[in-house]
Amino acid sequence: MSTLPAKGSPDVMGTTSVTLAPIIKTQFARRIIHGGRGLTERKECWGAETTDGVWSFDREDSPGTPWLVYHQPSVKDGSLTTPVSLQGSLRACRWYVAMGWAEADLERLLAHEQGEHAGERDPRCVKC
């Protein structure tokens, strides 16, 4: 049985089986108005989180900076307060979560923090 991709569904890397993680945008840049004219064309988004509140994404208020991916439960309990990853766009962040890569990287980072890589370095760990 083949399923046709839903109208408007993403087709990244030839896969339509995973949908982007749903998000809520939480922070927007202020529009710059000068002399009654908007200098910025659209409202840029600088912060968002997944609708389940597990992952949050934010970036510095300047062009070209990466998005930082945080795992909220780990930030709250203090087990991992640094970003799990850097991504190039908010869309990339949503894929990163949807594909399960965020969870995999989180587990690797937590294992590193707990000293599990002390004896043998994990080649996929960014901290080793």
Q: Identify the CA nearest to 33 among candidates 25, 22, 41.
A: 41
Question: Which residue in 117, 119, 120, 124 binds Zn ion (CB under 5 A)?
Answer: 117
128 belongs to the binding site for Zn ion (CB under 5 A): yes
Write the DSSP symbol of residue 36.
Answer: T
127 belongs to the binding site for Zn ion (CB under 5 A): yes
Instruction: Tell me the window of 22-30, 38-46, 90-98, 119-127 that interacts with Zn ion (CB under 5 A).
Output: 119-127
Task: Note the Cα 48 to chain centre separation in Å.
Answer: 9
Report residue 126 as tokens.
Answer: 């960014």
What one-letter code names the amino acid at 47?
G
Q: Which is nearer to Zn ion, 80 or 125 (CB)?
A: 125
Alpha carbons 79 and 81: distance in angstroms, whole number: 7
Q: Which is nearer to Zn ion, 33 or 126 (CB)?
A: 126
Task: For tokens 């839903």, name the residue.
Answer: 6
Residues 70 and 47 sit within 8 Å (Cβ to Cβ) = no
Task: State in angstroms the smallest separation of the CB of 113 from Zn ion.
Answer: 8
Task: For tokens 């043998």, name the residue.
Answer: 120
125 belongs to the binding site for Zn ion (CB under 5 A): yes
Instruction: Tell me the window of 12-20, 32-40, 57-65, 120-128 that interacts with Zn ion (CB under 5 A).
Output: 120-128
Instruction: Tell me the window of 11-19, 47-55, 92-100, 111-119 that interacts with Zn ion (CB under 5 A).
Output: 111-119
Residues in the site for Zn ion, rule: CB under 5 A?
A: 112, 117, 122, 125, 127-128
